[in-house]
Structure formats: C-alpha cells, structure tokens
Structure 1
Amino acid sequence: MTIKQIEQSIEGLDLDKALEKLYCFKDEFGDKVDKIIEKYEKKKLKYEKELNRYLGMCIYEKEAYQRGYKMIAGIDEAGRGPLAGPVVAAAVILPQDVFIEGLNDSKKLSETQREKLFDVINDKALGVGIGIVDEKQIDQINILNATKVAMKLAVCNLKIAPDILFIDSLRLDDINIVQNPIIKGDAKSVSIAAASIIAKVTRDRILKEMDAKYPMYGFSKHKGYGTGEHIEAIKKYGICPIHRVSFTKNFVV
C-alpha cells in the first residue's frame, strides 16, 4: 500500500480506531507510516484538550442534572450596546452529554466559527427559541427591560418547556421557572454559550439585511455598534428608522 492508500483507509474513523489501525500498518510497513501516526497523535492531543475545556464548561449543567433537572435552557442576548437595531435573545436546550467541538462564548469566536456552530447547535439542540425586541421598544422601555423582554420571548418560543434557566448575569421577573443567573455565564456554561452564538448570529444577519436597505451606515461591518465610522455616518446623514433614538441623540446635530 502507498501512504495515500493508508490514509484513505482510515478516513472517517474516530481517532482511537485510526491510530489502532495505523500501529497495525507499522508492523507491516515500518517507518513508512511514522509521519501519519505523528499527525494523528497530534490530532488526538488537540481533541482531548478541547474536550477537557468543554467539560469544564459543563460543571453547572452537571450539578443541575444531579439535582434532578432534565431540561436546562441557557439564555443569552446580543445587542445591548449598539446604536441601531434590535436586541436579540436566544434560549437553547442541549441534550445531556452532548459534545459540540469548538463551542464557546460567542465573543471568543470568529464570524466564520459562529456561523458553523450556529448550524451545529440548531441541528443538535432539543430546543431553540428566539426573542427579538426592536429599537422602538428599546427607546420606550430602556435596554435592560428590553433585554429581559427578549429573553422571556425566547423562553416562550421554545418548543420544549425547560425546568431550569441558566441566564447570563440577569434574573427575569414574572416567570415561573427556576432560574440560575451566572455572571459571565457565556464563558462558564455550554448552554449559555450556545445561546450566545444563536443570538449573535441571528442579530448579525438582521443587521446585514439592514445594510442593503441603509448602505450609507455600514451596518454589515459594525452591526450597529458605535464605531467611529458609524458615528461619522450619523453626523453626516442623521439617523435612519432602525437607530435607537435614546442611544444616538448625542451624535445628531
């Protein structure tokens, strides 16, 4: 067998089985397979490191399962700080013992990584709910209250009822479900991290659509945040219908 044929023969196998087969090939083909073995050993170390990181983000979930909770909904939002567009919240219920490689706080991921994980989460989750509160309601009730409304909507839009909520930092009023607010939860809980990705990607897609409608503001680049470019555009063109009046009044002449 050639090196290429050896590599083809282990494609699709999990790392342990691939290495087991490679060591069998070593008995037959000798040093010829050493580089492939080294490559797969590195892959295994990388995988184990990622798995351990992920398991470290499952501590809150593990404790909740041990206490008898079965449907844990992680909740997070995107868009509290921008000058334009809605605040978007997501609620995600993951299966127990699921491993989603690369899952992390959305702020620690690139746009490409978030987009890929968005599809994986939607595919593997038991339930995903989205809540959106637009800029007009944000101006009416303030961003904190709007965030809480979006989070409640996200919970209501879950197809499966959760029995406990893991929320990034906040506590929701008037909701009859056990809550566990976790400070910096998007970096500590896989459920909240998953919600942070769903919320961020959903909101970014909305702002990209708005960029086509209001191209002078550059929404596809900054997603409504107060960059220098965005503030200069507001000063030049004024605000558009998706700007938050309460956030932009200091920039409008």
Structure 2
Amino acid sequence: MEEYMSSIAEIKKVFASTDLSDYDRLFEEYAGDDREGVKKILESAHRKKKAYDDEKIRMYKMFEYERKYSDNEFICGIDEVGRGPLAGPVVAAAVILPKECDILYLNDSKQISAQKRELLYDEIMEKAVAVGVGMANQDVIDDINILNADYEAMKQAISKLSVRPQLLLNDAVNIPGVDIPQVGIIKGDTLSASIAAASIIAKVTRDRLMVEYDSIYPGYGFARNMGYGTAEHIKALETIGPCAIHRRSFITKFV
C-alpha cells in the first residue's frame, strides 16, 4: 500500500490556509494522490478556483469605464441609496479607487449580502484613494424633493473627498452645479467598479444609521426594514404615528 507524506486532514488544512491565487501549485503537488478523500478536496478546490478566476474576469470588465478614461488621474464613482424609504436620510458616497485596484466582488450593493457588504466596506475604506459621504435628511427631502436631495447629498460627498477628481462616473444621473466632467452610466453600479464601491459605502453607512435610529425610535422596525414601507412599518405608522425621521411628504396616505 502506498504511503503518503501528508494525511487528508493535513492536506485540507493546506488548502484552507492557501490563497486561491496559489491553488495551481497545490493542484500540481497533489495531482498524483489517488485517495478518495484527496480527490474530493481537489474537486472542491477546483470549483473554488474556477469561481475565483471567473470573478477576476468579471472584475476586469467592471473596470472598463475606468480604463476608458484612464487619462484622468483620479476617477470618482458616485452612487446613492435611500430614495424609496419612508424614513431616514438619502445617503450618497463618492469613491476614488487606485489605478491598480485588487478588490474583488464589487457590485450593486443590493446584490450583495449584508455580511459581504460589511467586509467590502472595510476593504474599500482601507484601499481607496479617497472616500466622501454626504447625506440629506428627511427635512431636506420634504423641502426640495427627493431628486434634489439626492443631488445635494452627492455634491456633499464630492466636497468631502481628500483629493479632487478629474472625472465623475455617476449611476445614471448628471449632477447639476458641479464643475467636474461627468459620465452618467445606466445601471452603473453593475458596470463600473468605482460606482459599485460607492454604492456599497453608501448602503452600509445608511444601514448602520438606521440600526441606530431603531434604538432611538423603537416600534417601526428600522433595524430590519431600513425605513422602507414594509407591512410592519406601515402598521406602526398607522398605530403609533410618525416619528422625527419620517419623511412627511412620503407618508401622507398612511397618517
């Protein structure tokens, strides 16, 4: 019976502790091991490596616009979240990613789990050249309408960047009153890495804020619904009435 240098448990630990980018070396090393347990480890590892390679291809495509306009040193992606909720602010983020960006899994924040968004938030904040966040609260929304409040939050986010961008990549909109060239990209948070990064920063920032509001204004389920008009939220509006962060112009048919 052939003897092996490493046990199956040890091989499993080797794969678990090795970066996916280095799996090809391990595939070669263990290719001749015909133990069923090792074969299963290799099959699983090949699937993970394929998913990793596919993600790298997807992310290369996500930088298409950044490459197209690469003559600009600082390209800023901008996105917002919170247009639809009945309560809380609209939040915008502006993100400038480095030219050689190695962040994977960037996408429209709605297509990413809350746990993954938190991890990506930390990675973006660590690796980005600059990040700015802007908000427009319920009073501003009621006063100037949600679209103009969106623009105000975006302009505020741009103003908070530590470096001035030469180009803005926006999710579908053109921001008025900004003297920086802009490119509006329909569904930009699924097509541009910079916009996707901004979407994630804005979403995590707003969700964290709504969780805080849930403890200040209990009964509406803000930590679960983030201010959106769920059945629980609407019932609370009808029974408790609105609180300080409700958008009065959004809730007229409920109170």
Q: Which moved more, 1:12-21 or 1:226-235?
A: 12-21
Change (3 A) 1:21 1:93: same
Per-residue deviation at 1:157? 0.5
1:19–1:40 Cα contact (<8 Å) kept: no
- Select 1:141's aligned residue among 129, 141, 144: 144
Alpha-carbon distance in 2 for matches of 1:16, 1:232? 50
Change (3 A) 1:224 1:9: closer
Q: Which residue is 2:113 aligned to?
A: 110
Alpha-carbon distance in 1 for matches of 2:216, 2:22? 52
Alpha-carbon distance in 1 for matches of 2:225, 2:18? 41
Q: Which residue is 2:134 aligned to?
A: 131
- Select 1:58's aligned residue among 42, 54, 63: 63
Q: Which residue is 2:11 aligned to?
A: 6
- Select 1:249's aligned residue among 236, 249, 252: 252
Alpha-carbon distance in 1 for matches of 2:112, 2:54? 17
Change (3 A) 1:214 1:18: same
1:19–1:37 Cα contact (<8 Å) kept: no
1:218 maps to a residue whose letter is G
Alpha-carbon distance in 1 for matches of 2:227, 2:15? 47
Q: Which residue is 1:191 aligned to?
A: 194
- For the residue of structure 1 that corresponds to 2:65, the secondary structure is helix
CA offsets 1:183-228 (integer angstroms, 9 cap, x no match):
1111111110110111011011111111101111111111111112
Pick the structure with more helix per residue. Answer: 1
Alpha-carbon distance in 1 for matches of 2:228, 2:97? 30
Change (3 A) 1:44 1:198: same
Per-residue deviation at 1:113? 1.5
Q: Which residue is 1:46 aligned to?
A: 51
- Percent identity reads 48
Change (3 A) 1:16 1:59: closer
Alpha-carbon distance in 2 for matches of 1:81, 1:44? 38
Q: How many residues align?
A: 248
Corresponding position: 1:230 with 2:227? no
Alpha-carbon distance in 2 for matches of 1:25, 1:246? 64
Alignment of 1:208-227 (within 5 A): 208-227=211-230
CA offsets 1:100-125 (integer angstroms, 9 cap, x no match):
22211011112112111111111111
RMSD, aligned CA: 1.6
TM-score (norm: length of structure 1): 0.92
Alpha-carbon distance in 2 for matches of 1:21, 1:182? 41
Alignment of 1:164-203 (within 5 A): 164-203=167-206
1:130–1:157 Cα contact (<8 Å) kept: yes
2:134 maps to a residue whose letter is G
Alignment of 1:61-100 (within 5 A): 61-65=66-70, 68-100=71-103
Alpha-carbon distance in 1 for matches of 2:164, 2:236? 44
1:75–1:192 Cα contact (<8 Å) kept: yes
Gaps of 5+ in 1: none
CA offsets 1:106-151 (integer angstroms, 9 cap, x no match):
1111211211111111111111100011111111111100100000
Gaps of 5+ in 2: 1-5
